[in-house]
Structure formats: C-alpha cells, structure tokens
Structure 1
C-alpha cells in the first residue's frame, strides 16, 4: 500500500517589512520543494527600506526605488494584501481584513510575527491634526511636495507673517530619522532657492526639537555634539532637553517659552510595537512587544516565532551587564534577526538544533545632506564626505535585490550630474480637484 504524502507545513508570516520580507525571501531559497508553503500578509504590496525615506523626501532617490514589490521578489510565496486584525494561536489562525472590506481567516502550522512598529505619539494638543510621520513612502512623497509647495507659496505672498509661517519647518525627535529628515530637507530647500529670486536662505526657519539632552544616542556623545554644531552652522535651530507643549493650528509652543507658527511639523519621536498585538493571545511585555527567547521563539509557544521592532529579544551582547536587556528597535537588528530566523525555522522543521541570535553593536552611520554625514563604526569616527560615503555604501549594500540597488545607484548618479529635482507635484494629494472644478464650470 502506497504511503500517503503529508501536506506541506503551512508557514504564515504576518508583516511584510524588514523581518517579514527577508524571512520569506530566505525561506523560499532554503525550503525543499513540498516541504512547506509560505504566506505573507501585509496591508501594503511592498516592503519599504525606511533608511532611504529622507533621501526620497529630498529628491535624491526616486520614491518607487525605495520600495520592493513583494509579489515580484517572493515568487515562491503566497502574498496576501490585507491588514491583520487578530491572531489566535489557540486555534492557530490569523484574521485579516482585505482592502475591499471582507474578513478572511488563514490557518497555520508555523507563525512568524513580523508586525513591526508604528509611530509613538503623545497627547500633545494639535499633534494629530498638524503632525506627519516619516515611516511610509506616501509620507515621504507628501513631505517633499509639501515643503516645495511652501516655497512656491512663500515666493508668491506679500504677507510677511504668512511668509514666516510658510518658511518655518519643524522636526520633532532627534534620532536618526529626525536628524536625517531635517538635514536632507534643508539641503533640498536651500538648493531649490536658487530658482526663487524673492527668497533667501536666511528667510527659512528650520527647527529641531529633542526631549533629551543629546541627539542620536546610538553614536558617541562627541559625534552627537558635532552633529548639532553642523546643523547650527547651516542656520538651523536645535532645542535640546525641550518638549512641545502644543501645536494647535500650527502655533508651536515649547516648554522653554519659545513660540512660533509653522505650516510644516514632522514627527519622528520614536516608535512603539504594533497595537494589533494586543488583540492576540501571544505573551507581551510591558511595552507591548512579544516576549521571545534568544532563538527568536515566542516564549512558551511551540511553532511561533517573532523578530524585529515588535519583539522583546534578549540582547546577548549586553545581558552580562543587564540581564533584562533586549534588542533595540532598529533596521540593523531586524535584518540580522531575519537571517537567524530563517535558519532556525528550517532547522526546526528538520528536527535540528537552533541557534541563538547574537549581534554586537558595530556602529552607526547617518547622512546630513549632500556630501555631509557622521559615522561611528567599530569605534572609528568619521565626519563629512567620508562619513557620507560610508552611509550611502552601507545602505545600498543592505538594500534588498540587485534591481533596487542598481536603481538607487543610478538615481544618485543622475542627481550628481543633473542636480536635485525640485518640482512640487502637489496635485497627487488631490488628483481630482481640477477635474471637479472643470465639471462645475
């Protein structure tokens, strides 16, 4: 009598960001034919390489080249575009809502939680109405068009108060995202002013507000001080150990008494684990992250794995000094964790031993606009052009797929030869406005 062939193991990955895409990519390369099926669920049909969002917002990179289409690269996986609303491990099921509103349930044998993080907001009056984040490609495109359209409006108005408001740009949060966004946008706006004879660089008011006493805690304190000095040399104002009290109607009030009006308020003050995790039966820590072992398994649950910003993974490089230390929410950890995750899932399916995740912090790089940067790698500190080259080299190396690497390199080459693109395409925010106006005339 012929043996009945067992069904492939059903692996479901919730989230198509760093961890989700890299894990699916690794699994489709390592799994044997018929060994397992892989399904990836995410609200977006693409993965966004977030470290390049500031450059996409500033016109150095074409926005489409910052995203990786999931269906194209995960050609051996099943990609579902939908938003996960519930995970019930007791029933081994994931509930999701698709774009057309219908609810679907997917069953699994192995679950990978890669839901990632969202912007961490605070109850500041006006933040919900006035603020915009920098976590999606849509936000990067909007910010680019918005900043350039403020220059257009400022050059056209005769009202000095309105011009000051239009030319005031605020970034709240002094981490990597905030610093790079501020520096890249200011660089773009300064470049664009050559085409606005009515405006001068000193007319612009670029402001960074950071609640702690230093920027970019990932680099040395000396490099953080250098970064602030470089921003201030370019005329930017940096408020450290300062908090925003209110931003209602664009009127920004800081807790040191400073007040001004701004039409552009960008929020980059940290992230928090995806709140969908509260609607699961997975074990969570006090910060809403999934509790994990060093092998990236969810504590106490067989067949459930987790990594990235939404996961409390022990940081074995620091546990001797702090037994409770967990990995920070960074792209560096997410990419490396996904590699260990792939190996451990395959090993688990084949009855082999799994490995602990161990990654010692090697340093950080940050861009401060064209030809400017800071870097602190293996204790070697770099500034200016060399750091800028290290920043670009590191991130293009980490950009997934050769296709996207090549496109980003070509964007940089074209920008070097032809300069930045400094045209606002504000119509994309309301593409039907002109048609509606025509239909009423």
Structure 2
C-alpha cells in the first residue's frame, strides 16, 4: 500500500488525516501521523481558556480518539530526506531515533511564537500558542490576586496585579480583553482589592491594532478598552524585560509578574531546517496552489504542505504578500482539500487548486462583547459576541467537542466562570514531599578500641 506520512497534528494535519479516513477505501493507503502531543488544540479558544470561560480539556481534540484508522506516533520529525523518502523520528520517550519510510509526505508542522533577541523576554515572557500556556496564564493571574490580597498597597502589590501583553493582532487583543474582563470579575472575591489596583497594558509597535478589521472597527475596540481601564501603547516597542520590568521605547517602565508575547509566529524551524524541501525567504515551505510542494514550473512529487508552515499562494488576492495568512480559517480548509488531492493523485486524477476568500474576522472581547468584520459589514458589542461564539462553536471539530464547549458556556451563564487557581498542579508532589517520612540516617559506627602493640620478644641465642 502507498504510505502517507503526516508531519504534525495541528489543524491542517488533523483535518487531513480525518478526511483521508473518510475518502480512502480499505487497504488503499496506510496513513501515519507524527506529533509529540496526543491532541490537536483549537487555538481560537485559548483566550477564553486563559479567562476561565472554557475548561482546558474541552478545546483539545484527542488524535487517537478520533483518528481510528491512522497510526499515531508520539514523537517529533527532526529530519526529512525526500531524496530517499525517509523521515527521522525522535520519540518522546527514549533517546533512540528511527527512520520512517513513506511514499507521500504531508508537512503540517504549524508555527511557533516568533520572538526577538530582547533582553529578558526569553526568561520572563510566555506565549499563547498552546493549551498549557493558556492554563498557566489563568493560574498565574488568579494566584497573583491571592498574593496581592494580603499585601499592603505598594510596588509589590502593583507588580502582581499588572499584566503586559505584547502584540496588537487578534490573539493579543483577545487575550488582553478577556483577561481584563476576568480580572474585573475576580475583584468580587477580593474585598481588599479595588479596580484601580489592577493595571493592564498592551504594547503594539505599529500605529493601529487588529489589521484584519477596518480602521473604524479598530478605533472602536481601542475606545472600548479605554473605557474598561486598559491601556494600549501604539507606536511603542519593548526594549527589555529584565527581572520582569518591561522597558518601553517611550522611556516608561512597567514592573509586572505576567508578560504575554503574541507579536507574531514563524514556521516550525525544527521541521523546516531539517528537511531538503524547498523553502522561501520567510522560512516557509514553498507550496503550489494545489498544495503540492514546489513552484508552478517545478513540482516536488510526493510532497505536500499546508497550514502555517507553508507558503500557499492566495488566489483570491487577499493574502499578505500574495500568500495565505497563517490562521485557522485557511489551515482547516487546506487540510480538507489536501486529503482530496492526495486521494486524487493516488487514483491517477488531477488535484484541484486551493481557493478561499477570507470570510471575515471575529474577536471575543470578554463576556457579552466582541468585534466582527466581513467586507464592509462591521458589528460590535453583544451581537458581535454572539457571532464570535456561533462561528467558533460551529468550527470546533467533532460534535462531542462542540457539546462540551457549549456546555461550558451554559454553566458560566448560570453559575459564573470558575475563579480557582490550580497553579500548584505544576509541582504536584510538593504536598506529599513536605510530610513524607524518610529513612533516618544510619548511626555512626562506634569507635573501635585501638589495637595494642606487642613488643617484640628477644630471640634466645643458640
């Protein structure tokens, strides 16, 4: 059977495997997916996870649970030799790598946070690309409220209750607004703290936020955030974050215990640099409109790519630099089409080109508030919030996951969001170790009596 190897289990990888299972006949091909994580994360819900509106496990889709006919390998692809059609796999357990052969390779390794060599960022900031990061953000902010509630007013309390988000794109604005709303709801549980004790700052190097929406909608979001006591610093860069003090290009310093970095992404460098597939100037795999790797003149047979790791031409004319922007809207649709194209090639048919015109952009800005833009149509406030939840509720893969997410929303409507921190789970053995009995150290051996020296007796002369 032809062997199909999928690199990465994110949007594009999961949907490719999921669709292949529906299209391929029994025994028509063998599908293998490699990813170090056992789940696909629905990233648009990460801001709501960080704000305690959705249970973390409900926004991830188990690969083994939903891919019944796909072999899932827990590991990383650390090398691709398409010349020999082999991939090097480093499993998550053990140190021994091994080679995996294939006939068709699908590179959907996604993207990682793109940072700059700013002092202190690597040591003190956290991204928002994984479910683990979203949970850590929620727990950190909630724990900081606990700590601040027993401190007198002063620099240390201000530091604990200051949140700095770097990046004014959709991810940055959503997590910024959601956390601002979450902090306001937390104040009801902490009578010793007031609204004025909390400080929220968003840093954006450009002169506007949310380039995906119109200028008018962007300005509305800025005004709405200002009304809620959140500060947005436009045309401002981060110069340093040493010891948690964010230094801005304006000369202002912001001591904080929570720095969230959302200022861009880049194609997964581990996969891109470890392969012999063609790469364009921005570090993405060069991909044709039909999702085969290569150019219009040169096709790399047996190699496919989609999602954030690829440079797919945007035939609708709406992409940045002529390529599809890295978002879930494209990755999901590319994954579905790629599965159809792979099956078509296996059956001797021609693949189809990817064409998708951006449907618009929708953002959640805290409970009962949002922003929506589709062409010249712009909605804000409550109706946009309903549009946000409606769109993403439908886009969440599998009915089982949809029901869980909608159930969380209903529970929050009836009982309010959960405001408990589980930060201690990051050191799960701390309580056990504190009181665990340990063997007593062995008693020192008793001093043995010194040996008595015997005097040599004279030898009798013969």
Report the TM-score when normalising by structure 1.
Answer: 0.96
> Residue 41 of structure 2 aligns with which residue?
48
Find the partner of 2:246 among 245, 252, 267: 252
Once residues 5 and 159 of structure 2 are traced to their aligned partners in structure 1, the CA distance between those partners, rounded to angstroms, is: 48
| Structure 1 position 86, deviation (Å) | 0.6
Maintained 8 Å contact 1:142/1:429 = no
Q: Structure 2: how far apart are the matches of 1:165 and 1:438?
A: 33
Aligned to 1:366: 363
| Among 163, 167, 172, the residue aligned to 2:161 | 167
Query: Which one of 56, 60, 63 corresponds to residue 56 of structure 2?
Result: 63
Separation in structure 1 between the aligned mates of residue 427 and residue 22 of structure 2, nearest angstrom: 42
RMSD of the TM alignment (CA)? Answer: 1.3
**Secondary structure class of the residue paired with 2:80:** strand
Q: What is the aligned counterpart of 2:417 among 420, 425, 436?
A: 420
Which of 146, 156, 161 is 1:152 aligned to? 146
Q: Deviations over 1:194-241 (max 9, x none)?
A: 010000111100000011111111111111111111111100000011
Matches within 5 A, 1:1-400: 8-101=1-94, 102-158=96-152, 160-276=154-270, 277-299=272-294, 300-318=299-317, 325-400=322-397
Is the contact between residue 116 and residue 310 of structure 1 (CA under 8 Å) also seen in structure 2?
Answer: yes
Per-residue CA deviation, residues 44-67 of structure 1 (Å, 9 max, x unaligned), is 000000000110111110000000
Mapped partners of 1:379, 1:79: distance in 2 = 44
Q: 2-side partners of 1:150 and 1:224: how far apart?
A: 31
CA offsets per residue over residues 294-348 of structure 1, 9 Å max, x none?
Answer: 00000131011000101011111118x99x6111111111011112111111110
- Distance between the aligned counterparts of 2:291 and 2:139, measured in 1? 41
Quick check: 1:52–1:66 contact (8 Å CA) kept in 2? yes
- CA shift for structure 1 position 189: 1.3
Q: Deviations over 1:138-165 (max 9, x none)?
A: 1111111000001000001126110011
- For these two proteins, the number of residue pairs brought into alignment is 432
- Relative distance call for 1:437 and 1:400 in structure 2 (3 A) is same
4+ long deviations beyond 6 Å: none
Report the Cα distance in structure 1 between the residues aligned to 2:213 and 2:375, rounded to whole angstroms. 11
Aligned counterpart in structure 1 of residue 429 of structure 2, from 420, 426, 432: 432
Structure 1 counterpart SS, 2:300: coil
User: How far did 1:260 drift?
Assistant: 2.0
Number of the residue aligned with 1:4: none
CA distance in 2, matches of 1:147, 1:242: 24
Deviation string 1:367-409 (CA, Å, 9 cap, x unpaired) is 0000000000243110001000000111111100000000000
Structure 1: tracts of 5 or more residues without a match: 1-7
CA drift of 1:431 comes to 1.1
Work out the CA distance in 2 between the residues paired with 1:174 and 1:292. 29
In 2, distance between residues paired with 1:83 and 1:283? 20
CA distance in 1, matches of 2:426, 2:259: 17
Kindly tell me: are residues 440 and 157 of structure 1, through their superposed partners in 2, closer, same or farther at Cα, counting changes over 3 Å? farther
Q: CA deviation at 1:100?
A: 1.3
2:308 is paired with a residue whose SS is: coil
Of residues 108-117 and 213-222 in structure 1, the stretch that sits farther from structure 2 once superposed is 213-222
CA contact (8 A) 1:118 1:273 kept: yes
